[in-house]
């Protein structure tokens, strides 16, 4: 089992819709979580951190479910510019704080 797993997609979503995807992690000692966004042929950029209490940034909401060991990303009122690959990142204290990256979920917003 991979340490961090994501549905590769693609998720094809009409503009204006709400879309959500999850990222599961296997190490229960994981303590920090992030969502990065990567546009086609570009470098990853931090989208948002994921806090235990959940957090929201505009149309984006990230949540953590420790019991089931997954994080989620919800995008409301999706825009064409949201089309990208969304990578989750997990940091575990017992892996020397190494960042473990998921393979990403590809999102395509259609007009």
Partner 1 sequence: EAGVAQSPRYKIIEKRQSVAFWCNPISGHATLYWYQQILGQGPKLLIQFQNNGVVDDSQLPKDRFSAERLKGVDSTLKIQPAKLEDSAVYLCASSPRGVGGDTQYFGPGTRLTVL
Which positions touch partner 1 (CB under 8 A)? 4, 8, 31-32, 42-46, 49, 87, 91, 93, 96-99, 101-104
**Beta carbons of 52 and 66 less than 8 angstroms apart:** yes
Q: Considering the complex, state which of residue 45 and residue 110 has its C-beta at the smaller distance from partner 1.
A: 45
Q: What is the DSSP string of 41-82?
A: TS-EEEEEEE-TT-EEETTEEEEEETTTTEEEEEE-S--GGG
User: CB of residue 94 vs partner 1: minimum separation in angstroms?
Assistant: 11
User: CB of residue 38 vs partner 1: minimum separation in angstroms?
Assistant: 9
CA 11 – CA 13 distance, rounded (Å): 6
Q: Considering the complex, state which of residue 42 and residue 110 has its C-beta at the smaller distance from partner 1.
A: 42
């Amino acid at each position: 089992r991979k340490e961090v797993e994501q549905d590769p997609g693609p998720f094809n979503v009409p503009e204006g819709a709400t879309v959500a995807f999850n990222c599961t992690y296997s190490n229960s000692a994981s303590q920090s979580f992030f969502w990065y966004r990567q546009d086609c042929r570009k470098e990853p950029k931090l989208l948002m951190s994921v806090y235990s209490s959940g957090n929201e940034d505009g149309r984006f909401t990230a949540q953590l479910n420790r019991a089931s060991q997954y994080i989620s990303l919800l995008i409301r009122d999706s825009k064409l510019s949201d089309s990208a690959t969304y990578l989750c990142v997990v940091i575990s204290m017992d892996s020397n704080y190494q960042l473990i990256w998921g393979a990403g979920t590809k999102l395509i917003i259609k007009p």
